[in-house]
Amino acid sequence: MHDPVAEADPRRADKTTTMREAIATHVTDGATVALEGFTHLIPTAAGHEIIRQGRKDLTIARMTADIVTDQLIAGGCVRKLVSSFVGNSTAGSLGELRRRIETGQPEPLEYEEYSHYGMICRYLAGAQRLPFYPLRSYAGSDVPAVNPDIRKVTSPYPGPDGEPEQVYVVPPLNPDVTIVHAQRADRAGNTQVWGLTGIQAEAVYAARTAIVVVEEVVADEVVRSDPNRTVIPAHAVDAVVECPGGAHPAFVQGYYDRDGEFYRAWSHISKDPDRLQRWLDEWVRGTADHAEYLAKLGAETRQRLAVGEAWSEPVNYGRRL
């Protein structure tokens, strides 16, 4: 956990580093790693680097466990998954995840099931260092029966009708490390996101350490010209990695579009375990870093995913005369 007194001015330090260094320093075997980003801004490149470095026995927390989760599982990195949706977006199935859960082959995957708001409340409790968080979900669901961490309590206050009220609660989630992808940050980690902002800020605040991967590291003045767009302030960030294209096949609003072809292809690649391992060998273990992966994707793919311009109107923050 951060000790603001012990760290020398953690807000302004230059935290930029390489992906290799960030993963080597902050992701250790057996750690709980949150990867967030809801369809948008998925930290795929960070997931690939975890596979390259051969991390083991990780607990992965990810609301919408999707392609990068399937890849991490197939890469032998994951012992346990904590999630609220395990599917390949609207494009088919996650072959490795389904094999592990349905057949236990090549080894079983521990799975902890929540609903989306259950996961959100776990991050909210984690970020605020609260012992639990209440929510109006799970009443009558079978999910608490298979996840004993979802518990029911009696509210200390009477309900609207004056009677005692029962409510389900979830425990805090405090990942050892949270990794998120964003459009841009300054060198200290003031991170700006537009479009879907998801649960990234809460997941970062809940973490003991946080890595932010961005399309661009920008000058301090760029961030300070529009502070409302800073979703994650530098004081919550430990490492900043510049990695253009790092969310592929997911999209980054204003930078590139979702690679629907790849999402559809993944159902076929992941269906056959040998084909999946060959894919990992070629595209992840066989590339030195994400720049090589992108070069391998080729200009044609990048062109296909290019987006046009749709600028927002500038806002006037004003200044004292």
Partner 1 sequence: MNAGAITSSELLAAVASRELVGKNTVFAGIGLPTLAVSLAQRTVAPDIEIVYESGVCGAHPTHLPETIADSVLITGSEAVLSMPALFGYVLQGGRIDVGFLGAAQIDRWGNLNSSVIGDWHAPKVRLPGSGGAMEVMANSREVFVVMRRHDPRSLVAELDFCTSPGPDRALRDGIRPRGAGVTRVITDLGILARDGAGEELRLVATHPGVTVEQVRAATGWDLAVADELTTVEPPTEAELRLLREDVDPDRVYLR
Nearer to partner 1, 93 or 277 (CB): 93
3-state secondary structure 16-85: EECHHHHHHHHCCCCCEEEECCCCECCCHHHHHHHHHCCCCCEEEECCEECHHHHHHHHCCCEEEEEECE
Q: What is the largest CA-CA distance in the chain?
A: 69
Provide the token pair at 292: 């090589």
Contact 91, 267 (CB under 8 A): yes
Q: Which of 34, 38, 293, 294 binds partner 1 (CB under 8 A)?
A: 38
262 backbone dihedrals φ, ψ, rounded to 5°? -70, -40
Binding mask 198-237 for partner 1 (x = CB under 8 A): xx-xx-----------------------------------
252 backbone dihedrals φ, ψ, rounded to 5°? -125, 115
165-184 residues in contact with partner 1 (CB under 8 A) are: 165-168
Is residue 117 involved in binding partner 1 (CB under 8 A)?
yes
Q: Which of 31, 74, 97, 241 binds partner 1 (CB under 8 A)?
A: 97
CA distance 143 to 170: 12
Binding mask 44-83 for partner 1 (x = CB under 8 A): -------------------xx------------------x
Residue 281, Ramachandran bin (φ over 0: left; ψ between -120 and 50: alpha; else beta):
alpha
Binding mask 131-160 for partner 1 (x = CB under 8 A): ----xxxxxxxxx--x-----x------x-
Total length of the chain: 321
Q: Which of 216, 226, 257, 289 binds partner 1 (CB under 8 A)?
A: 257
Nearer to partner 1, 10 or 37 (CB): 37
Q: Which of 90, 228, 303, 316 binds partner 1 (CB under 8 A)?
A: 90
Provide the token pair at 2: 């951060």
Least separation in angstroms between CB 198 and partner 1: 5
Is residue 85 involved in binding partner 1 (CB under 8 A)?
yes
Contacts of 155 (CB under 8 A, 6+ apart): 134, 164, 165, 166, 167
Nearer to partner 1, 62 or 187 (CB): 62
Is residue 191 involved in binding partner 1 (CB under 8 A)?
no
Side-chain-side CA neighbours of residue 32 (13 Å): 15
The residues of the shown chain that bind partner 1, judged by CB under 8 A, are 38-40, 63-64, 83-87, 89-90, 97-98, 101-102, 113-118, 120, 124, 135-143, 146, 152, 159, 165-168, 195-199, 201-202, 251, 253, 257-258, 260, 307, 310
